[in-house]
Chains A and B, each alone.
Chain A
Amino acid sequence: MSSTGHSSSSLPAMIKRSLIATVIAFLLFLPTLGIKTAASGGVDGLFLIYRWTLLGVGCGLIFIARMAYELFWAPKDGEQKPIKAPSALARALGSSKVAKTVGPVLLAFAIVFPFLPFSDRYILDLGILIITYVMLGWGLQIVVGLAGLLDLGYVAFYAVGAYSYALLSIHFGFGFWMCLPLAGLLAATWGIILGFPVLRLRGDYLAIVTLAFGEIIRVVLLNWRSFTGGSNGLSDIPRPSFFGIPFNQSEHGFAATFGLEYSSMQRIIFLYFLILALAVFTFFVTARLRRLPIGRAWEALREDEIACRSLGVNTVNTKLSAFAIGAMFGGFAGSFFAAKQAFVSPESFNFMESATILAIVVLGGMSSQLGVVFSAIVMVGGVELLRQLQFLKSVFGNDFDPSQLRLLLFGLAMVLMMLWRPRGLVSTRMPTVFLKDKKTVSASMISQGRG
């Protein structure tokens, strides 16, 4: 495109660009807005309803929006778009001082959260879900954020953890605390098994193979009926007890032992603190790992693999350790998931889960643990929030189900993110070691890794 052709601000050029946008919108809207299938109720099955007015309104809105953009917001001729300084929020999240205060505040809030007046069972379940995703995000961050290896099959390790707990507790009667390290160990082993074949792969190829790996695990779980129960899954998984004291109404139960009135909430609160403890453990271990030689080697691997080898860093071991340790935390989280649900089935471990966890890491920022917390709240909590928007029914009619818009908003959020924060909420990184003062490294310096 010539230099004048694109940024020309003459009126005909603007109208031309707006018309092009409208034509593209028309082609997109034609099958989505223009045509609706409806059941006829008879033997014919489906017939088509044409909604030309709606289509016209949609295209008109696009034209008006594009014209408005051209007239008011688009950069004018010869005007260089200034490089935006990071927003105040992003700068604040990136600085270590703020991270040091926000972190403990969030933790304190998480601790008192179950005892707040509005915390009913639903809210607490949501809290458990969010913290599980935070933990998974921190685990995947090691692989994707630090080592720069794009892993689209992370949910496989979550599945390995969940099935490890389910099978070990059903067949051998192992308790939760016994299964937890075993599940982590098994997931780490599978991390290494995945790691070996992909050592030489980079970029798109690595992404495809890890994606396939995630699917293989799910399909095996689905088809190995004698072992995993197939699509029926495994049910009656023993629920975790409070150090041997079960949460039930019997006289040896938790309520009776501590002289409390029995309530099903006690178990939920226990599960909440269990996942919180696991997440805090994950936080401290991953934060510590990052500052150790191994964590620096992960980041160096992301920056330049050849330079790593020239300095005597064993890149094979370094990659495998990233896969294994990332997978281990996935295994811990999976083990908790199985314990909480008392039921696992392959349904819970589809690609959408991998995509959600990856989106949390990418949205949060590749190397910021705090960023992952915020993005997990947005991604998981935001979707739940949609279910609450029942008042929209009064606007759009009773057929309107806001939670059906989930994927649309998901896509919209991704597009907005690409525009405004292409490197995530917190895109800077903190050095792992410093001489005089710790300065944040700006995102433009940091390599995204080609692996």
Chain B
Amino acid sequence: MSQPLLSVNQLTMRFGGLTAVDAVSFDVYRNHITAVIGPNGAGKTTAFNCITGFYKPTSGDIVLRHKDDTEFKLQEMEDFRISQTAKVARTFQNIRLFGGMTVLENLMIAQHNHLMKASAYTIGGIFNTPSYQRAQEAAKKKALSWMDRVGITDRADDPAASLPYGAQRKLEIARAMCTDPVLLCLDEPAAGLNPKESEELNALLRSIRDHDDVGILLIEHDMSVVMEISDHIIVLDYGRKISDGNATEVRNDPAVIKAYLGVVEE
């Protein structure tokens, strides 16, 4: 296997006396779907927030490698830079869309940094220079292609808050993909979806994995999603990693059965 896209090494996060994530290490590969699972309070979202810069980890390294071998130490970067330069995109457990803005506008904001440059940091944009117009059209086209892929093109000019729940989830993924990420982090993408929508989500994630040259890291409770699409599963319990492997390995790991599958879930 080639070099990992993301290497998390001895990641620890303490909140006062509580150790939410305790010396967790794992790798994420390009064109793979890596799932982080674990009972409630296992530290999944905390680990996620450390990777995407919303928390500063107490200790440990998070290294992201681009194709040209540039390395980014994510634990030292500000949250918006992680998206802007290191190209890590994320979604949220409680969907965070720009509700009063249209679907298209949501997808345009995802391309903010690119468009800011094209508008010469607003100065060129005020005079509507041809190069800005071209960039704007290209951004619209890209937004349209993602709306087509997740199937919400007919709602392009509706405010995001008016979309049904399932479509909002899809829009959030499309918005994250519009930032041109190398790593897509999804925080419980299937939460609240019905079985049919879950099925569509699986297909979408597979298609992103196979065609968009990104690594996908996801937190999920829905085992039908996790077991079906993950290439690699990491199991956390009480902040520690208790298992790591593919679906079959994890399913048969006694530690996992003890901590998770046999005890908490139905």
- Chain A CB within 8 A of B221 CB: no
Residue pair A431, B105 in contact (C-beta under 8 Å): yes
A436-451 interface mask toward B, CB cutoff 8 Å, 1 = contact, 0 = none? 1111011001110000
* B207–chain A nearest beta-carbon distance, Å: 22
- Chain A CB within 8 A of B216 CB: no
Residue pair B80, A312 in contact (C-beta under 8 Å): yes
In the complex formed, the residue of A with least CB distance to B132 is A292
Cβ 8 A contact of A312, one of B101, B113, B128? B113
Residue pair B96, A292 in contact (C-beta under 8 Å): no
Residue pair B109, A311 in contact (C-beta under 8 Å): yes
Interface residue stretch chosen among A104-112, A169-177, A298-306, A403-411: A298-306
- Chain B CB within 8 A of A285 CB: yes
Residue pair B126, A434 in contact (C-beta under 8 Å): no
- Chain B CB within 8 A of A256 CB: no
Cβ 8 A contact of B101, one of A285, A299, A437? A299
For chain B, the bracket of interface size reads 35 or more
Cβ 8 A contact of B92, one of A294, A297, A310, A314? A310
* B99–chain A nearest beta-carbon distance, Å: 5
In the complex formed, the residue of A with least CB distance to B126 is A288
Query: Known contacts A303-B100, A303-B101, A446-B99: does B112 contact A312 (CB below 8 Å)?
Result: yes
Chain A positions within 8 Å of B80 at CB level: 308-315
Residue pair B98, A294 in contact (C-beta under 8 Å): no
In the complex formed, the residue of B with least CB distance to A440 is B159
Residue pair B52, A296 in contact (C-beta under 8 Å): no
Cβ 8 A contact of A435, one of B125, B144, B176? B144
Tell me how many residues of A have a C-beta within 8 Å of chain B: 38
Chain B positions within 8 Å of A304 at CB level: 96-99
Residue pair A433, B104 in contact (C-beta under 8 Å): yes
Residue pair A436, B100 in contact (C-beta under 8 Å): no
- Chain B CB within 8 A of A340 CB: no
Chain A positions within 8 Å of B92 at CB level: 306-307, 310
Chain B positions within 8 Å of A309 at CB level: 54, 79-80, 83
Chain A interface (Cβ within 8 Å of chain B)? 285, 288-289, 292-294, 296-297, 299-300, 303-304, 306-315, 321, 429, 431-439, 441-442, 445-447
**5 pairs from A and B in contact (CB 8 Å cutoff):** A293-B125, A296-B108, A309-B83, A435-B104, A435-B140
Q: What 8 pairs between A and B have smallest CB-CB spacing?
A: A446-B100, A312-B83, A312-B84, A303-B98, A293-B115, A307-B96, A435-B156, A292-B125
List 13 extra interface pairs beyond A431-B104, A437-B157, CB under 8 A. A293-B116, A299-B100, A303-B101, A304-B98, A311-B89, A311-B176, A312-B80, A432-B105, A435-B153, A439-B102, A439-B157, A439-B158, A441-B100
